[in-house]
Structure 1
Amino acid sequence: MASLASCIFCRIIKGEIPSFKLFESDKTLAFLDINPLSRGHALVIPKHHGAKLADIPDDHLSEILASLWYPLQATGATDYNLLQNNGRIAHQVVDHVHFHMIPKPNEKEGLGIGWPQQQTDMEKLKALFEDLKSRM
């Protein structure tokens, strides 16, 4: 995991690395991705450093969803993906929570997704659900 001092997003927040800002508040920053999947591909990040969603305080997380509105308005995207990954095997590359807003202007541009569905064992699913409920 990247340290706070070496985290590329923390360095962008501090202004040490330039970015094309779309929106900034006390708790969030939205800026264009330098390796976009499509025109207008933007990132929204909390200013609080944390690798995964569970590492971010609630008051910072609650502002992120509202902040996603700004890149949507700036790009005029009507079809888009919102993507957030947690951990290496879930395809997270930068160890700082970030949300991608990726416009999908046509079939060729933007995010391509495979959805490898699996058969469900309903009894195991029910047991998992009951276990989760008991922990809450």
Structure 2
Amino acid sequence: MSAACIFCKIVKGDIPSFKLFESDKVLAFLDINPLSKGHALVIPKFHGEKLTDIPDDSLAEILPVVKKLVKATGAENYNVLQNNGRIAHQEVDHVHFHMIPKPNSEEGMGISWPQQKTDMDGLKALLADIKSKM
């Protein structure tokens, strides 16, 4: 836990939240600045700024809880978003996953997808490099 972290304060109960789910390792609550009705956050209780800072066992329930939220909200179209670092749009320095219903083209998350041209030899080299480090 981090004393200055808003999400750690929510986990401790120092700041109220609209809790949707809680277990020993995970907390889910409604986003207070939603992009659409049902926009929720799912967080590990373990404090870590980026995904790589969180132990695997603290991540095991995250996607199953997101699935439960999708079913409970009835969202047919939705985004699951998890940002790491400021230029990747992370605002709170505690890992969190957004479940954002997309009921229509105006509400929910908007995305741009700046695809790049691929050089197949470069892609093969990249594949070998990444696989060698896993």
TM-score range relative to shorter protein: over 0.9
The answer to whether structure 1 residue 37 and structure 2 residue 35 are counterparts is yes
Work out whether residues 23 and 70 of structure 1, in 8 Å CA contact, stay in contact via their aligned partners in 2.
Answer: no
1:87 equivalent among 62, 65, 85? 85
Aligned residues: 134
The one-letter code sitting in structure 2 at the alignment partner of 1:89 is I
The structural deviation recorded for 1:47 is 0.2
Deviations 1:62-95 (A, max 9, x none): 1111111232233211110000011111111101
Q: Read off the aligned partner of 1:22 and give its amino acid letter.
A: L
- Structure 1 counterpart of 2:127, from 113, 126, 129: 129
CA distance in 2, matches of 1:135, 1:72: 34
CA distance in 1, matches of 2:114, 2:18: 35
Output aligned runs, 1:1-16, within 5 Å: 4-16=2-14
- Please, which moves more after superposition, 70-79 or 101-110? 70-79
Shift of 1:5: 0.4
2:53 to 44, 52, 55: 55
Which of 26, 29, 33 is matched with 1:28 structurally? 26
The root-mean-square deviation of aligned C-alpha atoms, in Å, is 1.1
CA distance in 2: counterparts of 1:73 and 1:47, whole angstroms: 23
* Aligned counterparts, 1:71-110, within 5 A: 71-110=69-108
Amino acid at match of 1:81: N
Q: Which runs of 5+ in 1 are unaligned?
A: none
In structure 1, what residue type is equivalent to 2:73? T
Q: Which runs of 4+ in 1 moved over 3 A?
A: none
* Uncovered stretches (5+) of structure 2, i.e. residues with no partner: none
For 1:14 and 1:125, the matched residues in 2 are separated by 45
TM-score, normalised to structure 2, is 0.96
